[in-house]
Amino acid sequence: MFDTVLVANRGEIAVRVIRTLRAMGVRSVAVFSDADADARHVREADTAVRLGPAPASESYLSVERLLEAAARTGAQAVHPGYGFLAENAAFARACADAGLVFIGPTADSIALMGDKIRAKETVEAAGVPVVPGGRDPDLAEAARALGAPVLLKPSAGGGGKGMRLVRDLTVLEEEIAAARREARASFGDDTLLVERWVDRPRHIEIQVLADGHGNVIHLGERECSLQRRHQKIIEEAPSVLLDEGTRASMGKAAVEAARSCGYRGAGTVEFIVPGDDPSSYYFMEMNTRLQVEHPVTELITGLDLVEWQLRVAAGERLPCGQEDITLTGHAIEARICAEVPSKGFLPSGGTILRLHEPQGDGVRTDSGLSEGTEVGSLYDPMLSKVIAYGPDRATALRKLRAALAQTVTLGVQTNAGFLRRLLAHPAVVAGELDTGLVERVVDDLVSTDVPEEVYEAAAAVRLEALRPRGDGWTDPFSVPSGWRMGGLGKTVGFPLRVTGLEPVTHHSRGTHTVTDDQVTVTLDGVRHTFHRGGEWVGRDGDAWQVRDHDPVAASLTRSGHAGADSLTAPMPGTVTVVKVAVGDEVAAGQSLLVVEAMKMEHVISAPHAGTVAELDVTAGTTVAMDQVLAVIAPHEEVAQ
């Protein structure tokens, strides 16, 4: 076994790998960018090495700096986690050339399975069923032969990026051109393949484990059909769709797929499965790394997959055969991401002011967070994963919903409340899943309405801050009691604004108790308890940032133009494009700036015709959510 392992990643997966290294008595080396200097994975490792500036290209993606960090700390092996360089064949080769063990498959296996076209041809030759389709250069011809609908996919990448569903073949050429642009931008390779689209499919994957001695086994399946924009958000094991015969057949196919590329280590073979005919499954792709959702497999098998990645990489044989693998109980995982469901799931960010992550009694949270963590826009928005285990699916669902209600990440908006509601949806409870379900029901699970008790909690915090301290005389006009010249008023009014919504004046009428970390309010005989962190209040996985609102200050912009519109950042990120300057005339709807965060671009447009009265950013400026970017004064105001 290795003495020292460098973890070439960050966040929750780095913390997860370090946990197993510690349990095995192996020294861990973390790496970090300047943005992560005080991150949890840095603090929990035995030692840590600075890579460089915050951009991933100068830190986590720098092969040279990672290999130098390994050499400086005496690491014998590198664990890549997932994302970044985990499926980069050149990195695996560079590790081998430097005398380091890459904890994963060989570079040749990564390269083969990373090319979707070659992967499909290889597993098909091994007898694994594949989705009917075609490839460049006969892409359009193959698509027309298949008939609509078809799915265009980049050959060189995954994660849903660049995929386009074409239901109308009259626009096929335009869709192919758009898919090529996206593939080139995301992966540097615009090669495409086309596949028959399976309506309302299920996404089911098989976990495989292979050693360097020719032994390959599978650890059952995971159901990953709950997705949004081709990104998994809920995963579970096992799937309610499969019977024992289909499970065994898919498992055998996954093992053959792994054998076909000489696989070693932990990997996942993904299948697309028609919901009305599970026996007609098709190979989709192979992920040559540990998956985000690996904990659900760990919970139903009792195996530590990171431990067995290490043991296999160190040359050990698998400890058991296929006949020794049993699946017990049910596990479900929810991915907690920094995003704002009520604003179209735009990325969010900020400082974690209050944190509670449930653990124990069948609940596990894998996380890279701690109070004080700065969640920025440079890296992936996934913050943590909450996983629940029970003897059956219904129990696991109940435990996960309860755990999400207990999850607190005040200071950063997350999708925890949305996921809790999704898990209570009748179709999810019944196990009637498909990859399009979330998009069909999302509007029913997201609301911009703010309950009155949220404003009451915010007013309670404001009241507490205004209460007089000490025994001296107090000006009655400064006390939030509702006092007037003619006597006491019935309520106290507070102008408040929930981030992203229009301001309101809330008249406090309940009773309340405020502490540093909790607010309790009673309205109409009903008691409501919230977690508190600064201006933030939260409950049941949902959170609101409620600020004081100054209507007088808001009526004028800093440029002094009454009626002018301040354009604000819809998400924390970086301004990548500025198309105007102060004094420019703009038309209504004209594109002015572009803000990018977590690989998502958002165009800022003019709300009306007018003049750029103020411009506070340049290309490269880092901005916070709701930060003023520019001010557009209406033409009639400028003319005055």
Please state, in angstroms and rounded to a whole number, the distance separating the CA atoms of residues 308 and 297.
Answer: 13
Backbone angles phi, psi at 300, to 5 degrees: -90, -10
The string of pLDDT tens digits covering residues 457-476 is: 999 988 888 776 666 665 65
Q: Is residue 110 part of a domain?
A: no
Task: Please name every residue paired with 508 in a beta bridge, in sequence order, or none if there are none.
Answer: 492
Q: Is residue 32 part of a domain?
A: yes
Q: Do residues 379 and 350 both lie within one domain?
A: yes
Give the model's confidence band at 505: pLDDT under 50 very low, under 70 low, under 90 confident, else very high.
Answer: confident
Task: Please name every residue paired with 305 in a beta bridge, in sequence order, or none if there are none.
Answer: none
CATH assignment of the domain containing 220: 3.30.470.20
Q: Do residues 421 and 337 both lie within one domain?
A: yes
The string of pLDDT tens digits covering residues 202-217 is: 999 999 999 999 999 9
178: how many CB neighbours lie within 10 A of its CB? 14
* Confidence (pLDDT) at 215: 97
Reported pTM: 0.87
Q: Is residue 474 part of a domain?
A: no
**Radius of gyration of the chain measured on its C-alpha atoms:** 27
Q: Is residue 114 part of a domain?
A: no
Q: What is the mean pLDDT of residues 497-518?
A: 87
Whether pLDDT at 589 is above 70: yes
Question: Of all residues in the chain, what percent carry a pLDDT higher than 70?
Answer: 92
Strand order of the β-sheet with 216-228 is 282-287, 265-274, 201-210, 216-228, 231-237, 330-337, 382-390, 363-367
Q: Do residues 255 and 341 both lie within one domain?
A: no
* Confidence (pLDDT) at 600: 74
Q: Do residues 205 and 322 both lie within one domain?
A: yes
354: left (phi over 0), alpha (psi -120 to 50) or beta: beta
How many folded domains does the chain comprise? 6
- Domain containing 580: what range? 557-639
Q: What is the mean pLDDT of residues 141-153?
A: 92
Half-sphere exposure of 397 (CA within 13 A, CB side): 16
Q: What is the mean pLDDT of residues 268-282?
A: 93
Q: Is residue 116 part of a domain?
A: no
Please state, in angstroms and rounded to a whole number, the distance separating the CA atoms of residues 310 and 640.
Answer: 72
Q: Do residues 581 and 502 both lie within one domain?
A: no
β-strands 628-634, 565-568 pairing = antiparallel
Q: Which amino acid is at 419?
A: L
Q: Do residues 351 and 303 both lie within one domain?
A: no
Whether pLDDT at 477 is above 60: no
